[in-house]
Amino acid sequence: MKKILMLCMLMVVSLQSCVMKEEIHVNRKGNIDYSFNLDFSELMKFSPDAKDSMQKDMGKALDFFNGKELTIEQYLDLALAKEENGQEKKDSLLAEHPDLFKNLDNVLIKFVMNDSVGDVNFRIDAEDSDQLNKTFAQLEELSKVTKDKENPSKDAMDFNSVVSEKTYYESSKKVFERKVKEVDTAEMKKTNMGGMDKMFTYIVKVSFDRKIKSVSYPDAVISADGKSFTKEFKVGDIMEDPTILGYKVKLK
């Protein structure tokens, strides 16, 4: 996912923007449905070269998983399939990290790519905020252990969205909060594309079964039924200060 995201940012050739959307639904029992979607259809439409590059990078595996939801283990199999001794690498990883896929059965990834549609969807079904936090932590660990040590820039698996690495959630009956730890933004700023990153939109939508009493974002857009809010950011602003993605919602 990281490779596709960076390719989208590097190869955009028009004023059309890629849209990243993060959606969270919290029900009355505290169960959380989390999804992260990257829509690069406009890039596919206006930049055939970018489409060809993505398809070449994914190889024949695209024919297998296009339009299908994959588990994390299936995705790892595909990521390693194009590498020499891929199965041996997986066996070695599992021998060294027997709990590699622990608590990741609730994570699914879906790619859709054709002449006019480019879409990546990543979703997690969590029993509560604690399980969501543990899932993100496990995904971070998976990213670390599958990284190519000889070529650190080549990640076999990287599931972190723009925010997940330093993000955690807390919830109670009437409060839902996302906290974002302060980080050294020096590395993030290195990817700044001369202001072009501000063209990319990041949308956060959070919904509940209960009505919202207040949201810490003064300019959040509350839905007509009062049960969800939407907030838009520019990716460049997030890269400069990731903590702007933290929020607190009080429910009635």
Q: What is the pLDDT of residue 161?
A: 47
Q: What is the pLDDT of residue 195?
A: 55
pLDDT tens sequence for the chain (252 residues): 444 444 444 444 333 457 889 999 999 999 999 999 887 666 555 555 555 555 555 555 555 566 678 888 887 777 776 677 778 888 888 888 888 787 788 898 887 765 555 677 889 999 999 999 998 888 888 877 776 544 444 444 554 444 556 789 999 999 999 999 876 655 555 554 555 566 688 999 999 999 999 999 999 999 999 999 999 998 888 888 889 999 999 999
121: β partners: 37, 110
Can you read off the two tokens belonging to residue 165?
């690495």
DSSP secondary structure letter of residue 227? S
Contact in structure between 236 and 204 (CB atoms under 8 Å): no
Per the structure, the count of domains in the chain is 1
Contact in structure between 176 and 214 (CB atoms under 8 Å): no
Q: What is the pLDDT of residue 35?
A: 93
Q: What is the pLDDT of residue 98?
A: 82
Of residues 81, 85, 41, the one with CA closest to residue 60: 81
Question: Within 10 Å of residue 63's Cβ, how many Cβ atoms?
Answer: 9
Give residue for tokens 């993605």.
245
What is the domain extent for residue 50? 2-251
Rounded Cα gap, residues 18 and 7, in angstroms: 11
